[in-house]
Homo-oligomer: A and B are copies of this chain.
Amino acid sequence: MEAPAETHVGHGYVNHKDDLLKRLRRAEGQVRGIQRMVEEDTYCIDILTQVSAATKALERVALALLDDHLSHCVAAAAEEGGAVSQEKLTEASNAIARLVG
């Protein structure tokens, strides 16, 4: 599924890599914080608030990735047209359906 390294430059998120990694590290920190809350018997509702925050943070990462993907990979495929283009669009639609569902 991986394109050869030379074409990686085309990956949509390549210019936002630092931003994505920063968000993901923060989400990781949130999940670790939730573990600590469970270990310390924090009140259920306060834990739930943190779990919702971490979930939303991951959803925003997903939307950013999808945004980059549509702008680069899908747009590039559409310019070429044909079967590859259709395949990319189906792939993107399936990813969106997983996010929504």
Contact = CB atoms under 8 A, between A and B. Distances in A.
Size bracket of the A interface = 35 or more
Given A21-B38, A35-B21, A43-B1, A98 B49 contact: yes
Interface string A58-97: 1101110111111101111011010001100101110111
A51 B78 contact: no
B28 A47 contact: no
Interface string A1-20: 11101001001111001001
24 contacts: A2-B42, A2-B43, A5-B41, A8-B41, A13-B38, A13-B44, A21-B38, A24-B34, A31-B31, A31-B58, A44-B65, A44-B68, A48-B69, A51-B61, A52-B98, A55-B55, A55-B62, A55-B99, A63-B96, A63-B100, A71-B89, A75-B89, A78-B78, A96-B99
